[in-house]
Every structure is written in structure tokens, then in C-alpha cells.
Amino acid sequence: MSSDSKKDPLVGSFLVSLQLEKGLSENTIKAYSNDCNAFCEWLLLKRKYPVLSATEKDIENYLKHFQALNLSHTSINRKISSLKHLFHYLSKKKLLKSNPLISFSGLKNAKVLPKSLSIIDVNSLIDAPDCSTFIGLRDRTMIELMYATGVRISELINLQYSNIDLNRSLIKVMGKGRKERMIPFGDNALSWLIDYIEFRRKNNLSLNSRDFFISKQGKKITRQAFWYRIKIYLKAAGLSMDISPHTLRHAFATHLLNNGADLRSVQMLLGHSDLSTTQIYTHIAKQRLSDMVKQHHPRG
């Protein structure tokens, strides 16, 4: 990330506007900051002029710079998307003579399907924690709830006691764009949530904390800590180590569709604003069926 001394003040104003107008998460704002400040630094280094003087040719050369580094189209397009928002902001403020990105459509992405897990693999991962310990019980509950609801990692670790309704088997999460949604969960997740709550009560584990999933020290568990724990359980279960906690979200969606759920319902559960984002899971389901036929049909 750029040092504070190298950050462009125009980018700073743009980031403030994003926070105030769109209510984006801290991680999203950080990504915008990294992308936009990196471009400003590159422009000063290569062209010796500031962002307000950027041209279409500069954008083309910036793309070539990333292509030479063998960055994926997805990564490059994300960086360009950040710059598009920046230049749109500068245009609205009437600081630009012309917007160098106004007609740029981006690089075409090859469709990469997200990794998923079979039901057998999910069960192996869920069974891996040692639930005789607080950490194991907490991790089992987190994995159960993530698979039961399809929540994002950030939504899971930010859960508070007040977000959980045990009577109706519902959780309330704050998703992208600060959009709230209610998600139901099943009896398995409910049972583990109750066990986890009882363990905390009996052992007086930071009952004054509003955070639901905590460390031994009573602090909210971090994304990094949960990822570290998942890697331990993947190894214990003999599963691929390139699986991430987010893979459970993909498994949640894929398994729902494989078992007859409709796309609109899955969209609502995942918190996708656009149905096309959810539709990628139908490709996973179709691919799985195709692979099954090839593997098991006598003339496959």
C-alpha cells in the first residue's frame, strides 16, 4: 500500500465521498485506495504529471504494465473499475477536461467457476474440530453456521448476540453496501449455537462482550485467525489446502441449487444485488452433473 506521504489528496477526497455516499466496508475502501494511489504514483513516475492530466494512452500503457506482470484479467479489471469510479468523481467535480476511461469497457474475463465442496467434504471439515475445547466448539459452530447460511466471512465474524434469534432460527447480517438481511438456519446449526452459548455462560467467557465469536482473550475473532483455523481442519480432514472459508459459501449455494432451490431464493439468501452474480452457481451445478454422467454412465 502507498505510504501516507505519497497519497494523492484528490484520491483522499474521492475515498471520503465513497464512505459518506455509499457506506462501503473498510476493506473495499482500502482496495480503492490501493488501486487509485498506485496509478497516481505510476503516472508521476512514468509520465511526470498528476492524475488530472491522465490520457487514454496512459490507461493503455498502464494495462500493458499489468499484462507484462501476468496479472489475471479479473485483477486488472478490478483496478480499472476503481479508476473508473475515481475519474467519474473527478468529472462530477469538473476537475477534468475529459475522462480517459469514459469509453473503456474492460478486458474480457474467462469464466472461472468458484471452488466448491462436495457434501462429503463439507461433513469432513465440519467434523474436524475437537469440540471438547472452547476453541474447537467455537470453530465447529462457526463452520456449521457458515454452511447453514452462506454468509460471507466478514458477516460471520461481525455477528453479535443481538443479531441471533434462536426462537425463530434466524440471524441478521449487514452485507455489502450496508444492506441488512435475515437468513434462516436449520436444526444442526441451532443445536451448536445453543451448545456454544451454554459453554460461554458456564465458563463465564466474556459475557459482557457483544461479539458472538470470540478468542480465548474475549476479543472478536479476526478473519486471519479463522482462516488459520480452517487450514488446520483442512489438513486434519485430508482436504485440499487451497480451499478457503469462502468456499463454504459457494458450497451452500451449490448444494441448495443441486437440491431444487430456485435461483431467486438463493440470490436473496446470499445478498446478491444482481441475479447474474448468483447464476454462476447454476454453471457449477451443471458441470457437476456433467462430470457425474461421464464418471458413472457405462457409455459416458
Catalytic residue at 297? no
Catalytic residue at 249? yes
- Which among 84, 249, 250, 255 is annotated as catalytic? 249
- Which among 79, 84, 140, 152 is annotated as catalytic? 152
Catalytic residue at 216? no
- Which among 79, 85, 229, 272 is annotated as catalytic? 272
Catalytic residue at 223? no
- Which among 78, 220, 246, 288 is annotated as catalytic? 246
- Which among 7, 115, 176, 231 is annotated as catalytic? 176
Catalytic residue at 176? yes
Q: What's the chain look like in SS3? A: CCCHHHCCHHHHHHHHHHHHHHCCCHHHHHHHHHHHHHHHHHHHHHCCCCHHHCCHHHHHHHHHHHHHCCCCHHHHHHHHHHHHHHHHHHHHCCCCCCCCCCCCCCCCCCCCCCCCCCHHHHHHHHHCCCCCCHHHHHHHHHHHHHHHHCCCHHHHHCCEHHHEECCCCEEEEECHHHCEEEEECCHHHHHHHHHHHHHHHHCCCCCCCCECCECCCCCECCHHHHHHHHHHHHHHHCCCCCCCCCHHHHHHHHHHHHCCCCHHHHHHHHCCCCHHHHHHHHHHHHHHHHHHHHHHCCCC
Catalytic residue at 246? yes
Residues labelled catalytic: 152, 176, 246, 249, 272, 281
